[in-house]
Each structure stands twice: as structure tokens, then as C-alpha cells.
Amino acid sequence: MDVQIKPGDIPIIDVGGEIDHFAVPELEHRVMEFIDTGHASIILDFSDVSYIDSAGVALIILSIQKTTPLGGKVGLIVIDKNVLKILEIVGITKLVQAFALYSSLDEALADMSGDHSG
């Protein structure tokens, strides 16, 4: 797993590779750093993620649980059809209140920058 952080009003956590039980603790630490320092909204750019398991799903849900009370939102970018299928199976794509699924970073930034929740 590769992680690149792009700080800003809405931080972008750009992840590539496989998000599994081994990778999640480090990724969770980096995501929570932003949320715990007051960023209500974050973008998880999983465009280059080819694999996700229940630990990765748990991280997305934890991020939603942490940002919702702050009035923010988690923007998730997923392209890989297999990763999308896993998210559908566990029902995460139904959490439309506090979460938005995008197919590109441009789309995520355009939408999330406009709602002033960052």
C-alpha cells in the first residue's frame, strides 16, 4: 500500500495498492490525524486501490462516524469494479447522508468544495 497525503481544507488521502488487515492500522492513523485535528471532511482517494477487505471497510465507516458529528463528509473515490462490489455487498454505498462516492478526484473536489463542510 502506498499513501500520499495532500493537506488542505479538505485533506486528500491518496492510497494505492491493497487495503487489508495489515495495511489498515497505518492508514487509520494517518486518516484520524486529520479528523482529530478538526478537519470535518476528508477525501479518501482509492482510485488506485485494487483490493479492499473488511478492515478497509471498517476504516471507511469509522471515518464516517467521526466526521458526521463535525458536520462533515467523507468523499470516497473508487474506480475498481471489484472494490466497488465489496462496498456494495456490505451496504456501505447506502450511507448517502454522510458519505459520497465519486469516480474521480475532480468530481469529489468540485462537489465537496461547494458544500462548505470542510
Partner 1 sequence: MVKKESALEKELRLNSHTKNLSLIREEVEAMAASCGFNENELYQLKVAVSEAAANAIEHGSPQGEQSHIKVSIECDPDKISIEVIDEGVFKARLPVTNGRPSHRGRGIFLMTALMDEVNITEGLTGTRVRLVKVKNKAALDVAEPSTV
Q: Could you count the other beta carbons within 10 Å of the beta carbon of residue 2?
A: 10
Using alpha carbons, list the distances in angstroms from residue 80 to 2, 25, 41, 118.
16, 22, 23, 26
Are 56 and 18 in contact by the 8 Å Cβ rule? The answer is: no
Question: Can you tell me the distance from the alpha carbon of 42 to that of 105, in angstroms, rounded to the nearest whole number?
Answer: 12
Residue 28, C-beta contacts closer than 8 angstroms, at least 6 positions apart: 59, 62
The count of residues in the chain is 118
Q: Can residue 28 be called a binding residue for partner 1 (CB under 8 A)?
A: no
Question: Can you tell me the distance from the alpha carbon of 41 to that of 10, in angstroms, rounded to the nearest whole number?
Answer: 6
CB of 61 to partner 1, least distance (A): 6
CB of 23 to partner 1, least distance (A): 9
Q: Can residue 32 be called a binding residue for partner 1 (CB under 8 A)?
A: no
Q: Can residue 55 be called a binding residue for partner 1 (CB under 8 A)?
A: yes
CB of 13 to partner 1, least distance (A): 20
Q: Can residue 61 be called a binding residue for partner 1 (CB under 8 A)?
A: yes
Residues 72-111, one symbol each (x = binds partner 1 by CB under 8 A, - = not), give ----------x--xx-xxxxxxxx----------------
Whichever of 20 and 107 has its CB closer to partner 1, that residue is 20
Binding site for partner 1 (CB under 8 A): 18, 20-22, 51, 53-55, 57-58, 61, 82, 85-86, 88-95
